[in-house]
Amino acid sequence: MEGRPLADHVFTWPSDNPALIGGVDSRGRLRFPFMGRPGETPVELAREGLLWSWTVQRFLPKQPPYLGRETKGEFRPFALGYVELPGQVRVETRLVDCAPEQLRIGMPMRLTIRPLFRDEQGQDLLMFAFQPVA
């Protein structure tokens, strides 16, 4: 897949096996995303976890912070939730490749990278999401 991450230091890219990038501070606390603060060390996070909670975004979010390019008429609801990466953190994320009625708390989920929209130069801007493990 061609494109560039929507933001730096969120996930490894380009990569055949991308990972989210968390940060460990000087006290050993793990956070996501990596912020590059003094004393913070980047670490790759687990690529799979369990669905902790979820909902459906049924209206166009405020912009900013939402970065989608669709209009109110073009907007399509999407699932989002928290995926718990074992022993690490809970990540707020879009949930893809599933209908909301298929989602179950505790179901295994896997990281994936998807285009969100194209920039003014026509390049795909990429985001991370989680999908059910097949």
Over the stretch 55-102, which tens digit does the pLDDT of each residue have? 999 988 887 767 677 788 888 899 999 999 999 999 999 999 999 999
Output the pLDDT for position 10: 96
Q: Which amino acid is residue 42, in one-letter code?
A: P
**What pLDDT score does 20 carry?**
98
111 and 18 in contact (C-beta within 8 Å)? yes
Distance CA 1, CA 10 (A): 17
For the cut 90, the answer to whether the pLDDT of residue 18 exceeds it is yes
Task: Between 6 and 83, name the one with better pLDDT.
Answer: 83
Backbone angles phi, psi at 101, to 5 degrees: -70, -10
pLDDT attached to residue 64: 72
Distance between CA 82 and CA 14 in Å, rounded? 24
Domain extent listing, the chain: 4-132
In the chain, what is the straight-line distance between the N-terminal and C-terminal CA atoms, in Å? 21
Which pair of tokens denotes residue 89?
């953190």
Helix (H, G, I), strand (E, B) or coil at 38: coil
pTM: 0.90
